[in-house]
Amino acid sequence: MTNKDFAVFDSDSHVVEPPALWERYLDPEYRTLGKHALWRQEGRTGAYLKVNGDIFRDKGNPNLPRHALWRPGMDWDAIGALDPQIKHPATEGASDPLARLADMDAMGVDQALLYPTWFAEGFFLVRDPDVAYALARAYNDWIADFCKVAPERLFAAAILPLQDMDFALEELQRVARIRSIRAIFIRPMFIENRYLNHPYYDPLWAELERLGITAAVHATPGLWNPEWTSHGPFIEKIKDRLVQPIAPGGGGGPFAGGSGGAGQTTTFTGATPLGHPMAPILAHWLDNHMFVASALIGYTVMERYPAMKAVVAHGKASWMQEVLEKMEASTRVIPLLHHYPVSTEPEEMWEHGNVMLGFDAEERMIQKLPQDFAAKVVWGSRYPHHDATSAWDALAQLRGANVPEPLIARMMGQNAAAQFGIKLLNPVAA
């Protein structure tokens, strides 16, 4: 049933930064330095991300641009069935706002918040704060122009040069005056050897609270990153060590005892590469768990900045109950280890805090217990990534689970509009 009488807000949608961002929006005096610090190169036979002059080549099949592969009408089976021997073009709506609006119409999406792709992967690794500041200004100006094509439908999470907090606060105050900027993109990772529970970030939380701008937290698998920044490289290292033991019996050949006699046994262990990265499947949840548990609750960001709004995207939502259960004990037994001891019960902090989680409609916990989650979740499509879904897909799953329509409307749009300070439009027709 492709109909709805309420607006849908896509809280997890991505752009793919084009070369024009560097060539037209980066200050001329920083163009050479900027392309050395962060640059995405895509060619006919391969692609790479450059960070601080180092080249991180794509590990996947260059014929399948998984960061921009999905189009309306496709499902996961269709994505999996794509011929890997054929070069598939990237989704046009990833970088073209008019194509994107057409895709949003087909998806049943009325409005969307846009996250970066290559800046999400590499920007926070840029070492030179001045260059990072220039790159942030370029991205924010480019995404603001992207959103101007449909200012009532397209909104964005801005980039801040957190490598230098003074620069970050200056840029935050600048982008706060841009109509389409409704959030600040934050990747849950170490930046300059400091995680987000470090007191260094307190001025950021305070200014976000003062300005009423949302912290849009979005994990990235980190396939191009040094190991300490993300779970991604660690997961890939473990995957590459997966083995398949073969232990046949005696006789019949070299792997069945060979010619040495029927009583002899040989064990052969061979690597079994999976052929695709695992980090995009696992890293988001691990990174989001750590941010919510250690920064928001464990180091009392939610308690000390109660009016600060946050959305934690692309990591499901049903895990939050487990985090709260664990933090009930942790906040009691290790309070002296905290820079700011927790004085509020985690359950109470979560109930009254201004933090929401991105959810997937296929999450069974949300289908079975929608009343427990409806006030704390926002929906996102992940467009145009290969694991994207449409609003029609989400509505079909939630309705199929007999979730009440008022709760669906809240989870699919109303929560996000309140969290990002956006007026919902009339719904797009089927």
User: Beta-carbon neighbour count of residue 94 at 10 Å?
Assistant: 24
Q: What are phi and psi of 261, to 5 degrees?
A: 115, 155
Q: Which residue has the tokens 């109509």?
A: 179
Q: What does the buried/exposed string (b/e) look like for 95-121 if buried means 16 or more CB atoms within 10 Å of the residue's CB?
A: bbbeebbebbebbbbbbbbbbbbbbbb
Can you tell me the distance from the alpha carbon of 87 to that of 115, in angstroms, rounded to the nearest whole number?
26
Can you tell me the distance from the alpha carbon of 361 to that of 374, in angstroms, rounded to the nearest whole number?
12
* Average pLDDT of span 23-41: 97
pLDDT level of residue 260 (50, 70, 90 thresholds): very low
Can you tell me the distance from the alpha carbon of 58 to that of 49, in angstroms, rounded to the nearest whole number?
8
pLDDT at 272: 45
pLDDT level of residue 225 (50, 70, 90 thresholds): low
* The model's pTM: 0.86
pLDDT at 317: 76
Contacting residues for 130 by C-beta, under 8 A, at least 6 apart: 30
* Average pLDDT of span 252-257: 37
- Find how far residue 399's CA is from the centre of its chain: 26
User: What is the C-alpha R_g of the chain?
Assistant: 23
Can you tell me the distance from the alpha carbon of 407 to that of 404, in angstroms, rounded to the nearest whole number?
5
pLDDT: is 294 or 89 the higher one? 89
Query: What is the DSSP secondary-structure string of 358-374?
Result: EE-TT-HHHHH-HHHHT
pLDDT: is 420 or 225 the higher one? 420
Residue 167's alpha-carbon distances to 73, 128, 334, in angstroms, are: 43, 12, 34
**By the 8 A CB rule, do 284 and 219 touch?**
yes
| Burial of residue 33, with CB atoms counted within 10 A of its CB: 0-12 exposed, 13-18 middle, 19 or more buried | middle
- Mean pLDDT, the chain, whole residue set: 84
Structural domain 9-223+296-420, CATH architecture: Alpha-Beta Barrel (3.20)
What kind and span of H or E run contains 416?
helix 415-420
- 217 - beta bridge partners? 186, 312
Q: What are phi and psi of 37, to 5 degrees?
A: -75, -40
- 48 - beta bridge partners? 41, 57
Can you tell me the distance from the alpha carbon of 140 to that of 158, in angstroms, rounded to the nearest whole number?
6
Can you tell me the distance from the alpha carbon of 232 to that of 412, in angstroms, rounded to the nearest whole number?
29
Residues of each domain in the chain carrying CATH 3.20.20.140: 9-223+296-420
* 84-99 confidence digits (pLDDT tens): 999 999 999 999 999 9
Q: Is the pLDDT of residue 340 over 80?
A: no
**By the 8 A CB rule, do 286 and 315 touch?**
no
